[in-house]
Amino acid sequence: MSRRAGAVAAVLLASGCLWVPAPAAAFGTIEGGGQHREHERITRAALACAAGTESSGDCFEPKSSDQLAGHRKSFGAVGAPDRTEVSDPAAHCDDADFLDGTYLRTRAQATESLLDCVNHLRGRFREAVGNAADLLDSQDEVVSAEVDLGTDCVLDTGSEQRAKCTTIEAFGRALHGVQDFYSHSNWADAADPSRPIGATNPPGLNLPAPSAVLDLRGTNAPTVPAALSTGCFVLRDRVPGVEACERRITHAGLNKDNGKVDPRTGSATQPTTPRGKVGDNFAKAVAGAIEETRHQWQELRAALEAGYGRQKASLMICALTHDDPLNDCRRHSRLTVVLVVSAGLIGLIGAGFLVARIRRRRERLMRSG
């Protein structure tokens, strides 16, 4: 979503008003004004458990998914940057534009802007790992007050104390940026073959997800393809660019922000932006964002295990993804208890058979003697 539209939308939603701003300039966070809650639907397609399915750690159950993806008027964690980071290009991977040949910016300048985004998202990712520590007490049991979802997570206020909420919010903010990367860059798309390559029609890289550029667990600078570009953004976002974006690749010309996304299958149809309408660019951007979202959840799980050990990480992952973690996420799971009890019963039954067999043998010996 454009930072201007995001700020207006936040005020309107908070006030309960149904009017929405003019068409947005990123994967959408609200329903209306040209947006279709694209961030929410991408996140659900990637990480929401199928209806009636218990999470095994690879998906989020309904209430937990609501906190991450958003629901009704709630932006959810993935939409939080469109409320409080609307003016920060690093939160949306903007302003990393470059075009080979005579261009206003060098490859090094564009890469520096892109690394600002990567480092910003790494910070959010590390924040999620750190906040997860408070999900468990000193006995490695889930803390009731830290995982209670009797009320929705309060995002963006600084007053939220529940560890499940703060962990999901930090992770959701990281997901917002990685999803925007696929919409705002030419990583996964193609140029319009009917027009010459230039600032209004930059080349497309047509690369798959996940992207090595988005190494959020890492600390080194990733390798950036020479032709990789995101769009320059100003409030008067248009093609050709104006103000600071004059004669540059613009967000308006490169984004694949809006269209219909099926939150169950991830199917992407009815694109509405110029670049999104070229070939299957919108579908590629959505598919890349979904795959990257799943990858980053796997990365977060791996980071939790590396930081806290396998047992603690397993409990943390369970607490984040389950709607009833107090019952579902104990050190000795229900399955373990069932197995232990079953083994005990089998042992008792076996012992009973053995005792009975010994008695019968003694009786036979007594009768024969």
Q: What is the mean pLDDT of residues 358-366?
A: 61
pTM (two decimals): 0.84
pLDDT at 159: 85
pLDDT at 166: 97
Q: What is the mean pLDDT of residues 99-124?
A: 98
pLDDT at 367: 57
Strands (E), the chain: 31-32, 35-36, 260-261, 268-269
pLDDT at 180: 98
Q: Is 46 left (phi over 0), alpha (psi -120 to 50) or beta?
A: alpha
pLDDT at 8: 42
When comparing pLDDT for 113 and 20, which is higher? Answer: 113
For residue 260, count CB atoms less than 10 angstroms from its CB and return exposed for 0-12, middle for 13-18, buried for 19 or more: middle
Q: Look at the alpha carbons of 93, 98, 103, 109 in this order and tell me if their dihedral is positive or negative.
A: positive
* Residue 212: other Cβ atoms inside 10 A: 11
Q: Are 82 and 1 in contact (CB under 8 A)?
A: yes
- With a pLDDT cut of 90, the percent of the chain lying above it is 75
pLDDT digits (tens, 9 = 90+) for 152-206: 999 876 789 999 999 999 999 999 999 999 999 999 999 999 999 999 999 999 9
pLDDT digits (tens, 9 = 90+) for 60-81: 999 999 999 999 878 899 999 9
Q: Flag whether pLDDT at 345 surpasses 60.
A: no
For residue 202, count CB atoms less than 10 angstroms from its CB and return exposed for 0-12, middle for 13-18, buried for 19 or more: buried
Q: What is the mean pLDDT of residues 257-286?
A: 97
Residues comprising the chain, all counted: 369
Q: Flag whether pLDDT at 138 surpasses 90.
A: yes
pLDDT at 5: 46
Q: Are 275 and 165 in contact (CB under 8 A)?
A: no
* Whole-number Å distance between alpha carbons of 193 and 191: 6
**SS3 state of residue 295:** helix
pLDDT digits (tens, 9 = 90+) for 5-57: 444 444 444 434 333 333 335 565 655 566 678 999 999 999 999 999 999 99
Q: How high is the mean pLDDT of the chain?
A: 87
Which has the closest alpha carbon to 115: 137, 133, 90, 92? 90
Q: Which amino acid is at 17?
A: C
pLDDT at 36: 75
